[in-house]
Amino acid sequence: MASVCRHEFKSRDDLVAYVKELSPQATNQTISQLQPSMHLIEGLLQQVSPSEYARSRNFLAGAVTHLSPFITHGLVTIQQVRDAVLAHSDASTGEKLIQQLAWRDFWQRLARQHPDWLWHNIESHKTGWQPDDYADAMPDDVVDARTPVACLNQLIQQLCETGWIHNHARLYLAAYVVHWRRVKWQVGAQWFMDLLLDGDLPSNNFSWQWVASTFSQKPYIFNLENVHKYANGVLDTAPERNREIDASYEALQQRLFPHMVEGQ
């Protein structure tokens, strides 16, 4: 019979050391403060606030559920979260939050139907660039949080240190990697999978394709004004430290996609 692994530990450090022994190949990373337990999950389900979520969900400090790592690993299902939402509110108030759960269901169904889409372009780019125009490796300054964009460096640091960033922040980073730095979305998607505690292949990879425009009608981009609005003071959005993204959408589109043909 295969050997049974330990279940008793003197401390969390003891457990972490044991996991390192079990999996010496694993990249060394900061350990999450989240300590999974059913008690914690039940607490988070109790705290779900559908009305607050609907009001603030796009803000980086918004009232999101923080249940995603537990959903990814099956400790709680999206059905259970939906039921908690409906226990706290009527369907109309809960709709925004349930719609986000539905995105996950949608990605899962798509991955089951088309597993080959997880790592391959579903459609062609609508950016005017060809697949080979995108780089095969992450730029060092992005990985090391030393880009010329201060607010993005803060998000990269948070991602590396905690394994979690807000969904809106994920879209900013993905757009920066794919459109500003012209890196293949697959490379960025793998970078996120390496770091995110809640990294779920369908949600992660299809979202990267959505940003890249290989699974959407147009590329997703953002600008400093948008970050400033949704960061609401939690990021450094001083224009002098974020020049690369400090422009109108029209100007950015012309700069990032000079060969783009509208309506293609």
Record the tokens describing residue 228, joined without a space: 């400033």
Q: Cβ closer to other proteins: 7 or 259?
A: 7
Which phi-psi region, left, alpha or beta, contains residue 23 (left: φ > 0; alpha: ψ -120 to 50)? beta
Taking residues 210 to 239 in sequence order and writing x for each that binds other proteins by CB under 8 A, - otherwise, the string is ------------------------------
Q: Three-state DSSP class for 211?
A: helix
CA distances to 65, 188, 205 from 227, in Å: 21, 20, 23
In angstroms, rounded to a whole number, what is the distance separating the alpha carbons of residues 226 and 232? 10
Min CB(110)–other proteins separation in Å:
8
Q: Cβ closer to other proteins: 3 or 240?
A: 3
In angstroms, rounded to a whole number, what is the distance separating the alpha carbons of residues 171 and 224? 13
Record the tokens describing residue 5, joined without a space: 């692994």
Q: Cβ closer to other proteins: 49 or 108?
A: 108
Min CB(48)–other proteins separation in Å:
14
> 129: which DSSP letter?
-
With binding defined as CB under 8 A, does residue 77 bind other proteins? yes
With binding defined as CB under 8 A, does residue 143 bind other proteins? no
In angstroms, rounded to a whole number, what is the distance separating the alpha carbons of residues 158 and 192? 12
Tell me which stretch binds other proteins (CB under 8 A): 48-56, 127-135, 189-197, 230-238. 189-197
Contact 175, 222 (CB under 8 A): yes
The residue within the footprint of other proteins, chosen from 57, 66, 82, 241 (CB under 8 A), is 82
With binding defined as CB under 8 A, does residue 124 bind other proteins? no
With binding defined as CB under 8 A, does residue 50 bind other proteins? no
Please name the amino acid found at residue 241: R
Give me the residues that bind other proteins (CB under 8 A), please. Answer: 1-5, 7, 9, 15-16, 18-20, 22-23, 25-32, 34-38, 69, 72-80, 82-83, 86, 91, 94-95, 98-99, 101-103, 105-106, 108-113, 115, 118, 163, 190, 193-195, 197, 199, 201-202
